Amino acid sequence: MSGISYLVQWAIGLKKAFTGTTVAERTTLYKHVGGKRAVVEIGVYHGVNTREFGNRMAKDGQLFAVDPFFKGRFGFNPFKPIARAELKNVPVDVIWVEKVGPEAAPIITKQSKRPTDFIFFDGDHSWEGIESDWLAWGPILKPGCIVAFHDSIESPNQAADAHTGSVRYLKEVILPDPHMKLLETTDSLAVFERV
């Protein structure tokens, strides 16, 4: 189904906002975001997880919604209005950063009132994409920050497989990193603490 068709069906109530995360992955994410005060999501898509992060994090926090919302052939991104609507009523300060992850890092560092304490990487799952995200974000994350990677674990319940760049990057770069402590995995999701 095309993005425009989805947007139309969503607008008339035939479709709901969509997320590629499983129910189990969402449960894990929402458990770890509770009480956090500087939350970043890279790859908003329809805003389903972003909305729930905003509903579960500390009410005096800042939620950074990072997605370039690349324009399609008709000159706009059909998922942007869905995401905006999903986040309309969250009880925290939502800051939209319409950039890719590496470009967003310096912007958020300047705008945030405190160091990032939760970040969810769910943008470009190619090796090059996750590598550029990690090279920009990894060095600026403080100890104690929760770092979650989607589509990074081989799972029978998800599309991630051994050939996905993010799966290989996690195995070869993130897991061996002594500054990253694996907390848990759920389906294709891996959750770490920066130490």
Q: Domains in the chain, ordered, with CATH? A: 20-194 (3.40.50.150)
pTM, whole model, 2 decimals?
0.94
Confidence (pLDDT) at 112:
96
Confidence of residue 158 (pLDDT cuts 50, 70, 90): low
> Mean pLDDT for the chain?
94
How much of the chain exceeds pLDDT 90, in percent? 90
The answer to whether 119 touches 137, Cβ cutoff 8 Å, is yes
Q: Radius of gyration over alpha carbons of the chain, in Å?
A: 16
Side-by-side strand order, sheet with 180-186: 93-97, 62-66, 38-42, 118-121, 146-149, 189-194, 180-186
The amino acid sitting at 68 is P
Confidence of residue 154 (pLDDT cuts 50, 70, 90): confident
- What is d(CA 147, CA 50) in angstroms, rounded to the nearest whole number? 15
